[in-house]
Amino acid sequence: MIATNRDYLKLHFIVFLWGFTAVLGKLISIPSVEMVLYRTLLAAVGMGVVMLFMKTSFSVTTSDLIKLLLTGIIVAIHWITFFVAGKISNPSTSLVGFATCAFWAALFEPLAKRKNIQLLEIGLGLVGLVGLGIILAFDFKYPLGLFLGVISGMTAALFSVINSKLVYRVNAYAITLYEMLGACLSILFFLPLYKHNLAAHHELNLLPTAIDWVYIVLMAWACSVYAYAEAINLMKKLSVFFIQLALNLEPVYGIILALMVFGQQEVMSLKFYLGAFIILGAVIAYPFLKRKTENHFNTPAQ
């Protein structure tokens, strides 16, 4: 299936929504694990309601159901590490680590689909990292936050590659439903260990404030039910690498939204604009360079 300009615009709108999650995560008062528990639960319920309303089939094979539930564990790890990284360090450190997703996708996708690793994709993935490094200036005062951000980026690339293969035999809504369910269940099983070893004062914080609920619902239904399902659908037309490369704009959108929400404390420097230009350049250049490369290798020798 050939991607259209509408598909590219939809992708950037999805990335914009995901950039909004960094702001929401900072605004929500409860810890990250409990937050992701509620997010995945509400996303699963919301997706189920959408499927009932649209009369979409819930049926999947037993083999695919197991794969989807297990992939949900990867999704849970991705979100928990992303939000924990932001809370123990700062959102910038978390986003720098997350930005490695394009680099990981350039490695994982060819391996999963038994194709050669593309030097173009590796190169542009690294260019995206350079741009983010300029914007956010790596802060090694937070090595654990940076490490968790990298894990978040790696797991994002991993479940995206898995979904890009599943979407050809399972509809995107069913993928979203069962992966959100798998993520929620995995967190529930993890809670006893989390409570006794990682939770503050060995107690869970399962009572969000009223405004927390508003933010969590937005995160679950706009950023998960809609954006997650639509991103999976786009995998029929766009490569996982290109989607992950576009995700390098998530920190840019996130910082712009943070400026709007938090005011002058989020004012950007010249580094931001230079880095954003580099990232935008990599994202815009990819389809043209990809097409030129393919035409070069597909043109018969004279």
Burial readout 253-273 (b: 16 or more C-beta within 10 A, e: otherwise): bbbbbbbeeeeeebeeeeebe
* Least confident piece of the model among 143-152, 170-179, 227-236, 273-282: 273-282
**43-99, pLDDT tens digit by residue?**
999 999 999 999 999 999 999 999 999 999 999 999 999 988 878 877 767 777 887
Per-residue pLDDT, averaged over 2-12, amounts to: 84
Domain boundaries, the chain: 5-298
* pLDDT at position 189: 94
* pLDDT at position 267: 56
Burial readout 58-90 (b: 16 or more C-beta within 10 A, e: otherwise): eebeeebbebbbebbbbbbbbbbbbbbbbbebb
What is the distance of C-alpha 280 from the center of its chain?
18
Report how far apart, in Å, the C-alpha atoms of 277 and of each of 110, 115, 285 are.
28, 31, 12
Residue pair 88/142 in contact (Cβ under 8 Å)? The answer is yes
Distance CA 140, CA 219 (A): 29
Angle at 107 between CA 220 and CA 187, to 5 degrees: 30
pLDDT at residue 219 tops 90: yes
If pLDDT is split at 50, 70 and 90, which confidence band does 137 have?
low
Distance CA 294, CA 115 (A): 14
pLDDT at residue 301 tops 50: no
